[in-house]
C-alpha cells in the first residue's frame, strides 16, 4: 500500500480549519472551493481557541484581563495576574457534528515569582480520532491514530506598573500518519518543531462616563518556528506563525458590576500561496516579513487576510459572567464566520466556564461546538 502523507495531511488540515465547504444531508463534507486563495499551514490546532472564556468572546485574548489561560493568548499578561498560582483545564469536542472522537484538551498552570514576575506551563493535545484505512477495493487494512500536541513554557515580567513583556517556548509534535509503512521515497514520519511566542501588554486606568475603567492593549507574534516535514523527502510546511493585535476596555458600573469590550486583529505571517509554488521555498524570516506584501492580487488581498474578533463580557461580583462575541474571516481566505456565547461561574477559588459556537452558515462543520473548562486560583494568604 502506498500513501502520500502530504495528501493525508492536507485533507486533515482542511477539515480542521473548516475552509468553505458544502455539507450534504448525509453529513459528508464536499471539497473546498479551489478558487479561494486560502493560506494553509501545518499544525493549525495551535491557532484554535482552547478555552471557553475567550472562546465565548469571539476568540479575543490579546488584551483581555489575565487568567489561567493567558499563556495561549499573550504571555505578557501573566505578570499582571492577581493570584499567586493557578491551574486551568479545558476540553472541546471538535467537529462533533460529523465525528464523535475528535477533541482538543488544554492544561495550563502558572506561578507568580514575585509581584513583577511569573512563569507558567501549558499542554495542548489534539486527538484526531481513529481513521480506518482501506485498499483500492474497500478492504479494511489498519486503523491509524493521528495525534498532535505542544508543550509550552512561559516567562513574563513587568517593565513598569503599566507595561509587561512575555516569551513562550514550545515543542510541537504532529503525528498524522500513525506510523504507516510506505515506500522508501515517501516514508511518513511524525513532524516536530521548536517555536516561540513573544508578547507585550500595556494597561492604564481612566474614567469613562464617570466610571472607573481600565484600557489595555496587547500584541503577540506566536508560533515563530521552523517548518515541519512529514516524510523523508525534502518537503516542509510552515507552521501558523501569527500576529495578533488587540485592545480591551473594562468598566466598573458599580462595585459589583463590570463590563468588558475587546477587539482583536489577526494575520498569519505565512507566505500567501503562489501559482508557481514558490511560496513553499521561502525561509522562516523571509516568509514572516514577506507575508505583508506577497498576495498575488496586491494590497486588497492582503487586507482580506486579516481576521477580526470582537467580544464582550458582563461580570457580577466576580462570581457570575455572561459572554458573547463574533469572529469574521474573509470568504476568500476561509470564510469562517461565527457567533459565540457562554457563561461562567465561580465558587470560592473554582471557576466553571462554558462556551457555544454558532456559525453563520447552515450545516457548517463548526456548528454545535461546545467548550467547557475549569479554573482554580489560589493566594498564599488564602492557603
Q: What is the pLDDT of residues 45-95, one digit of tens each?
A: 999 999 999 999 999 999 999 999 999 999 999 999 999 999 999 999 998
Q: Say if 3 falls within a structural domain.
A: no
Q: Say if 348 falls within a structural domain.
A: yes
Taking Cα atoms as reference points, which of 272, 310, 309, 275 lies closest to residue 294?
Answer: 272
Number of compact structural domains in the chain: 1
Q: Say if 232 falls within a structural domain.
A: yes
CATH of the domain at 299: 2.40.160.60
What pTM, to 2 d.p., does this model score? 0.87
pLDDT at position 184: 53
Range of the domain at 60: 51-378
**Dihedral pair phi/psi, residue 292, rounded to 5°:** -85, -5
Please say whether the beta carbons of 51 and 371 come within 8 A. yes
Q: Say if 129 falls within a structural domain.
A: yes
Q: What is the pLDDT of residues 97-150, one digit of tens each?
A: 888 889 999 999 999 999 999 999 999 999 998 887 777 777 887 888 899 999
Q: Say if 167 falls within a structural domain.
A: yes
Q: Say if 362 falls within a structural domain.
A: yes
Q: In sequence order, what E strands does 226-256 have?
A: 242-252
Q: Say if 328 falls within a structural domain.
A: yes
DSSP one-letter string for 15-82: HHHT-S--B-TTSPBPPP-TTS-----S-GGGGS--SHHHHTTTS--SSSPP-TTHHHH-GGGGGG-S
> 373 - beta bridge partners?
90, 353
Amino acid at each position: 500500500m502506498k500513501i502520500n502523507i502530504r495528501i493525508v495531511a492536507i485533507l486533515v488540515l482542511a477539515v480542521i480549519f473548516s475552509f468553505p465547504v458544502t455539507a450534504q444531508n448525509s453529513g459528508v463534507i464536499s471539497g473546498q472551493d479551489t478558487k479561494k486563495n486560502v493560506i494553509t499551514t501545518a499544525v493549525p490546532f495551535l491557532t484554535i481557541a482552547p478555552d471557553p472564556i475567550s472562546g465565548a468572546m469571539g476568540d479575543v485574548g490579546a488584551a483581555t484581563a489575565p487568567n489561567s489561560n493567558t499563556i495561549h493568548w499573550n504571555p505578557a499578561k501573566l505578570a499582571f495576574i492577581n493570584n499567586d498560582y493557578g491551574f486551568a483545564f479545558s476540553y472541546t469536542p471538535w467537529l462533533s457534528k460529523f465525528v464523535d472522537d475528535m477533541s482538543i484538551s488544554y492544561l495550563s498552570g502558572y506561578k507568580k515569582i514575585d509581584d513583577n514576575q511569573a512563569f507558567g506551563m501549558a499542554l495542548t493535545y489534539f486527538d484526531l480520532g481513529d481513521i480506518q484505512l482501506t485498499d483500492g477495493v474497500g478492504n479494511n487494512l489498519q486503523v491509524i491514530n493521528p495525534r498532535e500536541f505542544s508543550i509550552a513554557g512561559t516567562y513574563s515580567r513587568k517593565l513598569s506598573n503599566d507595561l509587561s513583556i512575555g516569551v513562550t517556548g514550545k515543542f510541537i509534535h504532529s503525528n498524522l500518519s500513525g506510523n504507516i509503512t510506505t515506500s522508501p521515497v515517501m516514508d511518513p514520519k511524525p513532524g516536530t518543531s521548536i517555536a516561540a511566542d513573544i508578547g507585550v501588554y500595556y494597561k492604564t486606568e481612566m474614567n469613562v462616563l464617570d466610571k472607573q475603567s481600565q484600557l489595555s492593549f496587547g500584541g503577540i507574534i506566536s508560533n515563530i518556528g521552523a517548518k515541519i516535514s512529514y516524510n523523508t523527502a525534502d518537503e516542509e510546511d510552515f507552521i501558523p506563525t501569527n500576529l495578533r493585535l488587540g485592545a480591551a476596555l473594562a468598566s466598573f458600573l458599580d462595585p459589583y458590576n463590570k463590563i468588558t469590550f475587546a477587539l482583536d486583529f489577526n494575520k498569519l505571517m505565512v507566505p500567501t500561496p503562489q501559482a508557481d509554488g514558490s511560496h513553499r521555498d521561502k525561509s522562516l524570516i523571509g516568509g514572516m516579513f514577506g507575508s505583508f506584501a506577497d498576495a498575488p492580487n496586491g494590497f486588497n488581498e492582503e487586507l482580506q487576510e486579516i481576521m477580526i474578533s470582537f467580544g464582550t463580557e458582563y461580570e457580577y461580583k466576580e462570581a457570575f459572567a455572561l459572554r458573547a462575541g463574533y469572529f469574521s474571516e474573509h470568504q476568500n481566505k476561509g470564510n469562517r464566520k461565527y457567533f459565540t456565547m457562554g457563561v461562567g461561574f465561580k465558587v470560592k477559588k473554582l471557576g466553571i466556564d462554558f462556551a457555544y459556537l454558532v456559525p453563520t452558515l447552515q450545516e457548517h462543520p463548526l456548528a454545535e461546538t461546545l467548550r467547557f473548562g475549569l479554573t482554580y486560583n489560589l493566594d498564599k494568604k488564602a492557603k
